[in-house]
């Protein structure tokens, strides 16, 4: 018969909470990056430039989220 590992839900919840905190921090950093791209000056902005900035931001967002998912859990969970 196969032994099943006991899962400690407290550890799992702590890891999920830690991941949630990291995601919130990433969201704040992304907001800061967005604010760097937005200027209050009346400059003429090319649509290609806006689309390139948006694509770069989405790529950074995807990379950050993928790196969070690639982290191996530590402990017994």
Contacts of 68 (CB under 8 A, 6+ apart): 19, 22, 23, 26
Q: What is the mean pLDDT of the chain?
A: 81
* Residues 5-24 pLDDT 10s: 666 788 888 888 899 999 99
Q: For residue 11, how many other CB atoms are within 10 A of its CB?
A: 14
61, exposed or middle or buried, with CB in 10 Å at 0-12, 13-18, 19+? middle
Q: Please give the model's pTM, rounded to 2 decimal places.
A: 0.42
CA distance 71 to 15: 11
Distances (CA, A) of 9 to 2, 16, 56, 70: 21, 10, 38, 21
Share of the chain above pLDDT 70, in %: 79
């Amino acid at each position: 018969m196969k032994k099943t590992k006991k899962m400690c839900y407290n550890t799992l919840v702590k890891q999920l909470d830690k991941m949630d905190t990291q995601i919130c921090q990433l969201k704040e950093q992304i907001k800061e990056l967005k604010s760097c791209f937005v200027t209050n000056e009346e400059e003429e902005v090319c649509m290609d430039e806006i689309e390139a900035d948006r694509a770069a931001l989405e790529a950074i967002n995807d990379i950050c989220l993928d790196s969070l998912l690639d982290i191996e859990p530590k402990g017994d969970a």
